[in-house]
Amino acid sequence: SQSNVFLRILKGEAPADVVDADDPDLFTFRDRKPASTIHMLVIPRQFVRDAAELKPRDAELVRAMTTKARELVRAEVGDDAFDERELALGFHWPPFYSVPWLHLHAIYPRSAMVRRYKYTSISFKSPEYVLERLGRLGD
């Protein structure tokens, strides 16, 4: 719907701290309430409501979002300083999200995270979990 804040951000109608707008398929901006020093959201330009809606054919989208998130965080932290173990990547699983538009959280460093209750294994699923689930769903 037109009231979706991510749609408004994509159209340039709502403010966002944009990290990467050059990708034809993905759009990345900073979370308004960061859970750590770096907190980016990677969203597809095409609407998908949430990770539970994804079909096996969407595995490539999940992989692309994951790669983009890792690249952007690594670029900001610097190759030498980047520690993969400090990178938290995940999708909020329904009903545990506030914006109905697929978005991958990229949070760094994990050790400095606040509001950890929002990022537990019940509500926050890793890209690996999502890909494994898509593999189980088959075609």
Query: What pLDDT was estimated at residue 2?
Result: 64
- The overall longest dimension of the chain from CA atoms, in Å, is 43
- In eight-state DSSP terms, residue 134 is H
Task: Write down the pLDDT at residue 68.
Answer: 98
Q: Which residues of 102-131 are buried (b: 16+ CB within 10 A; e: fewer)?
A: bbbbbbbbbeebeeeebbeeebbbebeebb
Q: How many CA atoms lie within 13 A of 108 on its CB side?
A: 23
The whole-number pLDDT of residue 139 equals 57
| Lookup result for tokens 């670029």 | 75
List beta partners, residue 44.
26
pTM equals: 0.95
Instruction: Give the pLDDT score at 30.
Output: 98
Q: What is the block-wise mean pLDDT of the chain (139 residues), using blocks of 10 residues?
A: 87 96 97 97 97 96 98 96 97 91 97 90 94 88
- What was the pLDDT predicted at 26? 98
